[in-house]
Amino acid sequence: QKEVEQNSGPLSVPEGAIASLNCTYSDRVSQSFFWYRQYSGKSPELIMSIYSNGDKEDGRFTAQLNKASQYVSLLIRDSQPSDSATYLCAVNSGGYQKVTFGTGTKLQVIP
Amino acid sequence: DGGITQSPKYLFRKEGQNVTLSCEQNLNHDAMYWYRQDPGQGLRLIYYSQIVNDFQKGDIAEGYSVSREKKESFPLTVTSAQKNPTAFYLCASKGGQARNTDTQYFGPGTRLTVL
């Protein structure tokens, strides 16, 4: 059973729409949650981290965490073609080793 | 500029050859990591190090070796025992375990191809 699950996509949205990316995790003691963006052939870059239940907003990005339901999501408002990338969800269950990455959701923003 | 550097960007290996991938960081981070990424797959942990002169195996350590002689450097050797080494290799570092210091930051990666 995968520890961090994401729909591989592709998720296609028109330019200007809201893109919603979801991630579920299995370890209930998970403490830290991260969203990374990875362009093709490049390394992951951090978009946001979230630690507490609720929403966290940063510009066009909003991360949502629900520990009771064990899911974390990322909303991208006013999606742009430059947002087209693979989005990785990462979960830290504590300690230096236990960061688990999902396989990523590919987002395509159609002009 | 603070960051993580990896070299080379592209590396070609012949069968039976050992190769070493470089990773250097000037972020003063204690922890460093090596991941492997294959097409359509997530990141898989090869080795990690919390402090100098100490490192631990990750999920797929067989066929790989590392050293941590300096805080800034964490080189990865892909040995001939690694039967399928063609992949994208990512080095990362992290400052600590507390909130807002437990984020992993990645280097630009090395793409290794076996000829």
pLDDT of residue A99: 85
Q: List, in order, residues 6 or more apart from A108 with CB less than 8 Å away.
A: A9, A10, A11, A12, A13, A84
Interface touch B42/A8, C-beta < 8 Å? no
Residue B1: pLDDT above 90? Answer: no
A contacts of B111 (beta carbons < 8 Å):
41
Q: pLDDT digit string (tens) for A44-60?
A: 999 999 999 999 999 99
Minimum distance, in Å, between the CA of residue A101 and any CA atom of chain B: 6
CA distance A39 to A59: 20
Task: Look over chain B and give the mean of its residue pLDDT values, rounded to a whole number.
Answer: 92
A contacts of B50 (beta carbons < 8 Å):
96
For residues A88 and A44, is the Cβ–Cβ distance under 8 A?
yes
CA distance B99 to A92: 11
How many CB atoms within 10 Å of residue B6?
20
Residue B93 confidence class, pLDDT cut points 50, 70, 90: very high
- Report the candidate in B9, B46, B23 with the shortest Cα–Cα distance to residue B106: B23
CA distance B8 to A57: 37
Residue B51: pLDDT above 60? Answer: yes
Strand-pair category, A32-38 with A11-14 = unpaired
Residue B12: both structure tokens together: 């070609």
Interface touch B106/A101, C-beta < 8 Å? no
Residue A57: both structure tokens together: 């907003």
Residue A63 amino acid letter:
A
pLDDT of residue A31: 86
Cα–Cα separations (whole angstroms), residue A40 to A86, B9, B39, B59: 8, 15, 10, 24
When pLDDT is averaged across residues B29-40 and rounded to a whole number, the result is 92
Residue A93 confidence class, pLDDT cut points 50, 70, 90: confident
Residue A28 confidence class, pLDDT cut points 50, 70, 90: confident
- Report the candidate in B37, B86, B103 with the shortest Cα–Cα distance to residue A104: B37
CA distance B92 to B5: 10
